[in-house]
Structure 1
Amino acid sequence: MNLTLAHWLRPWEFSPTLIICFLLSAYLFFIGSRRKPINASRQILFWSGWVLLYLSMHTHVDYYAERVFFIHRAQHLVLHHLAPLMIMLSYPGQVMRAGMTRGMRQQLQRFNQTAFGQALIYWLTHKLFIPSLFVFLVIIWLFPTIQFYSMLNVNIYRFMNWSVVVSGLLYWNLIVDKRPYHPPVITAKSSLGRWWQKRTLPGSPAVMSPLERVLSPVFTMAPQIVAGAYIAFTSTDLYPLFEICGRAIPISAVQDQGWGGLIMWVPAGAVETFGILVAAMTWWRLHAQGRIYHGNRPTNYVARQVKTA
């Protein structure tokens, strides 16, 4: 690992698609932040997350992630948890929209009004589907057979990395939402139908209720901790691929897996715990403002009626 900074920053596998995506996102956020000024903390969060994503995906870090299991898990900690959380805490959506030209915004608005656009928005903000996808894309890539082929096939490997980045952005977009929640309109007549609609239909303007935003990371964190603990304490070489290809640093398979499992267990859990704290702060703020809804009425609805009377 005795590389100069220039060698570290050199892409291990050059990807034009990745370069285009990063440059486009940087351009939209930079222009948007000039047209729609935001505070320094949001700027720092976005650019820090942006840099972390790039360093993890398009430098020689990627080389070591392909040859050392615990570095691979540290890479996915950044791609799936830390960097997406930092980016979404900058609330980049409206800023990047402001960075678009008027024509681009009009085209986006027209697309969002189409049936396909509405369906896409529905599923990409679904409060059950997105958290489930978030956990699924952590666990599925840990199966030894899938891990074996994903590390050998460059297309599967890139899909793996992009899938965890996108699912991370979509998930944290729901959790750090600061807006209040209005319950969805329930149209089902059966009790089962009403139960299902309450748990699947989006609210307005936020998709998840404040309490759901607090509880969701608890449920998504649990399977990752269990998987991390199992990998950390097993004495079996679950991923012989790293031994076959040759580990980039002198470390045994058991040590490699132990450190990788601990990364899934402790730092990843810490990131999700921080997400819980952010969601809890939103819940407390909305509660203090009387904007927590139960049924179809806010908590301070009765209090306001009494005060008015």
Structure 2
Amino acid sequence: MTEPSASSRALALLALLAPAVALAHGGEHPALTVSEVMGWWTWDPLVLGTLGLSAFLYVRGVRTLWRRAGTARGVRRWEVGAFALGWLTVAVALLSPLDRLSDLLFSAHMTQHELLMLVAAPLLVLGRPHLPALWALAPRARARVTGWMQHSGVRAVWRAVTGPFLVLLLHALARWVWHIPSLFQAALRSEAVHAVQHLMFFGTAALFWWALIRGRYGRVGYGVAVLFVFATAAHTSLLGALLTFARSVWYPIYEGRTQAGGLDALEDQQLAGLIMWVPAGALFIVVGLALFAAWLGEAERRVAYTRAELPEEGAP
């Protein structure tokens, strides 16, 4: 029987990602146990402060809004639940042992990024965070901010930034540019650069999902949404496939860090590529198909409305 290829082993490891957290802290160290790795929680004060402030503003805003308008008015219960799940996903991505593992394993790093872009960002957008944030302010401050947001210049900038084609371009650039070896490895060497990388990944993903979920598809049409979802699926899958089938290591900084886990750097890279390619691609396809179904439904409703407006044959 022939020995399985590196890509086959990487594919098998995709299904075993959870047990794979018991990995080395560098090639010169012995294998770590799960209990050791689970103690790798990081309590970054900036992340904790941001998460704490966002939770405080959201809860305060929802309570104020519901007292004024009635429970579940303005922001529905399921939207509050979506925000809570998105908030927890950010905490897992940036505070859990996954954050330290990302310095040792490219596959863990990829998992962290996909959690931020494909799970946290859409859930937080579904939670309508802008409304609770406004209602968390004092009445005078809320009136000033609302007035500023209604300014024609501000609205024009927001409409441009959340336009589907610009969002598609920005998110694609963030994904591809930050996977250039020199930039990706710079993020591993510098906490400041790493923070910028995370902000660009999350920020462009949030704009992407905002345009998709809260976008103006009454004006541009569901067809555009379907187009840019499948375009995003295509280019992210391509990047994942390039990582999976590469014959050399893109990020030499990971070499020697994964041996105790039974992976070499190339296998780890293949696993990272599969994580980007398979789960991310599948999610985009599901969203694209849902939008396509909505597009067909909208077309049927318009046809039915047009027929209802037309006079019957022979009618005066």
The 1:118–1:248 alpha-carbon spacing in structure 2 relative to 1, beyond 3 Å, is: farther
1:7 and 2:34 correspond: no
The one of 237, 248, 252 equivalent to 1:236 is: 248
Contact 1:217 1:272 in 2 (8 A): yes
The one of 247, 251, 259 equivalent to 2:271 is: 259
Partner of 2:125: 88
Tell me how far apart the structure 2 counterparts of residues 98 and 286 of structure 1 sit (CA, whole Å). Answer: 34
Tell me how far apart the structure 2 counterparts of residues 249 and 168 of structure 1 sit (CA, whole Å). Answer: 34
Tell me how far apart the structure 1 counterparts of residues 150 and 196 of structure 2 sit (CA, whole Å). Answer: 29
The 1:248–1:25 alpha-carbon spacing in structure 2 relative to 1, beyond 3 Å, is: farther
Deviations 1:175-210 (A, max 9, x none): 12376513xxxxxxxxxxxxxxxxxxxxxxxxx422
Give the alignment of 1:40-51 within 5 angstroms: 40-51=77-88
After TM superposition, the score normalised by the length of structure 2 is: 0.76
The one-letter amino acid of 1:10's match is: T
Q: CA deviation at 1:100?
A: 3.4
Q: CA deviation at 1:95?
A: 4.1
Contact 1:176 1:275 in 2 (8 A): no
1:117 and 2:122 correspond: no
Contact 2:165 2:228 in 1 (8 A): no
Tell me how far apart the structure 2 counterparts of residues 249 and 134 of structure 1 sit (CA, whole Å). Answer: 35
The 1:259–1:216 alpha-carbon spacing in structure 2 relative to 1, beyond 3 Å, is: same
Point out which structure has higher relative CO (alpha carbons under 8 A, 6+ apart).
2
Partner of 2:237: 225
Contact 1:130 1:167 in 2 (8 A): yes
The one of 92, 108, 116 equivalent to 1:79 is: 116
The one-letter amino acid of 1:76's match is: H
Q: CA deviation at 1:28?
A: 2.8
Tell me how far apart the structure 1 counterparts of residues 288 and 131 of structure 2 sit (CA, whole Å). Answer: 24
1:163 and 2:230 correspond: no
The one of 185, 200, 211 equivalent to 2:223 is: 211
Partner of 2:14: none
Contact 1:232 1:258 in 2 (8 A): yes
Contact 2:79 2:128 in 1 (8 A): yes
The one of 300, 304, 308 equivalent to 2:309 is: 304
The one of 77, 90, 96 equivalent to 1:53 is: 90
The one of 279, 285, 303 equivalent to 2:291 is: 279
RMSD of aligned C-alpha atoms? 2.8
Give the alignment of 1:178-217 within 5 angstroms: 181-182=218-219, 208-217=220-229
Contact 2:38 2:97 in 1 (8 A): no
After TM superposition, the score normalised by the length of structure 1 is: 0.77
Partner of 1:62: 99
From the CA coordinates, give the structure whose radius of gyration is larger. Answer: 2
Q: CA deviation at 1:6?
A: 7.3
Partner of 1:191: none
Tell me how far apart the structure 1 counterparts of residues 171 and 155 of structure 2 sit (CA, whole Å). Answer: 21
Deviations 1:136-160 (A, max 9, x none): 1111111111111121111110000
1:31 and 2:55 correspond: no
The 1:107–1:284 alpha-carbon spacing in structure 2 relative to 1, beyond 3 Å, is: farther
The one-letter amino acid of 2:54's match is: S
Q: CA deviation at 1:5?
A: 8.8
The 1:263–1:101 alpha-carbon spacing in structure 2 relative to 1, beyond 3 Å, is: same
The one of 206, 209, 214 equivalent to 1:177 is: 214
1:52 aligns to what SS in structure 2? helix
The one-letter amino acid of 2:59's match is: F
Deviations 1:13-49 (A, max 9, x none): x242x33332232223223333242444323222111
Contact 1:9 1:55 in 2 (8 A): no
Tell me how far apart the structure 2 counterparts of residues 235 and 29 of structure 1 sit (CA, whole Å). Answer: 47
Identity %: 20
Contact 1:76 1:161 in 2 (8 A): yes
The one-letter amino acid of 1:32's match is: G
Structure 1 unaligned blocks of 5 or more: 183-207, 291-297
Tell me how far apart the structure 2 counterparts of residues 43 and 77 of structure 1 sit (CA, whole Å). Answer: 22
Tell me how far apart the structure 2 counterparts of residues 248 and 163 of structure 1 sit (CA, whole Å). Answer: 31
